[in-house]
Homo-oligomer: A and B are copies of this chain.
Amino acid sequence: MPRIVIVGGGFAGLNVALGLGRCDVRVTLIDRRNFHLFQPLLYQVATGGLSPANIAAPLRSLLRRQRNTEVLLGEVRDVDVANRRLTLVDGTIRYDTLVVATGSSHHYFGRPDWEQYAPGLKTIEDATEIRRRVLRAFELAERHDDPAEIESLLTFVVVGAGPTGVEMAGAISELARHTLRRDFRHINPARARVLLIEGTDRVLPPFRPALSEKADRSLRHLGVEVWTGAKVTDISPDAVRVLRDGAESVVPCRTVMWAAGVAASPLGRVIARGCGIEADRQGRVPVGPDLTVAGHPEIIVIGDLAAVSQAAPSQKASAPMNAPAPPATLPGVAPVAMQQGRYVANMIRRRVAGQSPPPPFVYRDKGSMATIGRASAVADLGWIGFSGYPAWLAWLFIHLIYLIQFQNRILVLHQWAWNYFTRNRSARLITNEPRTEAEKQNRPGSHIAPPPAG
């Protein structure tokens, strides 16, 4: 029986595995983690609205009924394309068909030292770390006497105004203005400053301009300060430097979140090198219209790790009929990964059945959405854009539908209803503090004044 090895249990890889349950193949899904993570809701874990387990599901549990499928907790280091073998940290594994879908992580534009001050949001640990930093900043501010220091502690900077950045900024502002409103005695959490920094000229650049403007208004209404056309030039433990309109400003702050650049997982370059091709600038593997690597029909790369050129259908429609639409690579979003996963499962099923290959992969863009806060969102479906309460309901509905596992849907729905009516966020726990005197290392350089005189 042919052995299909899938590396990565995200949206792309999981959908391949699920699509091969009844196929006459042996499937091995390899992931470093034992669970599938619903990344689009990670920002809600980072702001205390949901628990990690609400948006994660054990891979074994998702695939337990597929007797032809095994899940393997492991980490891939190298590929031997000639002999069709993967080298793991602790062993090797042979494949007939290899599907690589290890996604992406953050990219700090050549400044990896910024990561310690400005964590990104890709894993459960990222989310609980950001939650810890945000909540801890309020706690430290409550203990301080120095107004400048308090202001710095109560300044939260989000870099990048794509959907994740917009959602984080909105959620932090709501946390400060509503959830924590009555929790402190010496500070007013509502005075917290949330600054959203975007390099292009508007928030949510992939959306139509009218919706960007709506999102911008909603953010400001929530108390978020939006700086567009602004570029971060430096991040240090207690400040962010921003270049805007030709002038550089220094924003004293202690909590920064990174929602800007993404880079492909390092496995991309390894695969590309193994196949004798070159990864693109972000480290993604270029693949053909059937998502296989040129000259290697047995190697398939999908999800954020793949660089797929495809003229966007909406662009096609609006371009003159006789001018070829300019090819653009597909965005690194969940719907692309899911559709590619299903496409690849179908392609493998057809290969096994000896049928002709399917037509080239076409991404059907059903639109993009982002929530900005309570009962506020924008949705761009391509043929129509809308915002406000209807968009928010649509956002809720879509996210619940795609959330894997029935029970998670119920629990998340319950939690959302609760959070909505009470404005509470019950998962705001500060966990995994460094073991030593916690106050000393929230940030390097943090120094604490004595508490208010007793």
Which residues from chain A sit less than 8 Å from chain B, CB to CB?
3, 5, 28, 32-35, 51-54, 56-58, 60-61, 64-65, 70-75, 85, 88-95, 124-125, 128, 135-136, 139, 142-143, 180, 182-186, 405, 407-408, 410-411, 414-415, 418, 422, 424, 426-432, 437-440, 448-451, 453-454
Contact pick for A454, options B95, B182, B427, CB 8 Å: B95
Tell me if B429 and A74 are in contact (CB < 8 A): no
- 3 closest Cβ pairs, A-B complex: A91-B450, A94-B454, A53-B427
A54 B51 Cβ-Cβ under 8 A: yes
Whether A407 lies near B426 (C-beta < 8 A) is yes
B90 and A143 within 8 A (CB): yes
Contact A61 B411 (CB under 8 A): no
| A57:B426 contact, CB within 8 angstroms | yes
Contacts of A448 in B (CB 8 A): 90-91
Given A414-B414, A454-B94, also A183-B430 (CB < 8 A): no
Contact B411 A92 (CB under 8 A): no
Q: Are B183 and A60 in contact (CB under 8 A)?
A: yes
Name the B residues within 8 Å of A432 (CB-CB): 125, 432
Q: Which of B61, B75, B90, B430 contacts A33 (CB 8 A)?
A: B430
CB contacts (< 8 Å) of A139 on chain B: these are 34, 73
- Among the listed B142, B143, B424, which residue makes an inter-chain contact with A407, where contact means beta carbons less than 8 Å apart? B424
- What would 23 A/B residue contacts be, using CB atoms closer than 8 Å? A28-B454, A34-B135, A34-B429, A34-B430, A35-B429, A35-B430, A53-B426, A57-B426, A58-B183, A60-B180, A65-B182, A71-B183, A74-B143, A89-B438, A90-B450, A91-B449, A91-B451, A92-B450, A93-B451, A93-B454, A125-B432, A407-B418, A411-B411
One of B74, B124, B410, B429 near A451 (C-beta < 8 A): B74
A64 touches B182 (CB 8 A): yes
Chain B residues with Cβ below 8 Å from A142 are: 72-73
Chain B hits for A3, CB < 8 A = 454
**Cross-chain contact of A88 among B54, B427, B430, B451 (Cβ < 8 A):** B451
Known: A414-B414, A454-B3. A52 touches B429 (CB 8 A): yes
Q: Which among B5, B35, B422, B437 is the interface contact of A75 at CB below 8 angstroms?
A: B437
Closest CB-CB distance, A270 to chain B, in whole Å? Answer: 16
**Which of A91, A94, A408 has the largest number of chain B CB atoms within 10 A?**
A91
* A411 contact set on B, CB distance < 8 A: 411, 414-415
Complex-state Cα separation, A88 to B449, whole angstroms: 11
Knowing A143-B72, A451-B74, the reply to whether A89 touches B58 (Cβ < 8 A) is no
| CA distance in complex: A95, B53 (Å) | 41
- Give the docked Cα–Cα distance between A246 and B101 (Å): 57
Contact of A52 among B51, B88, B183, B405 (CB under 8 A): B51
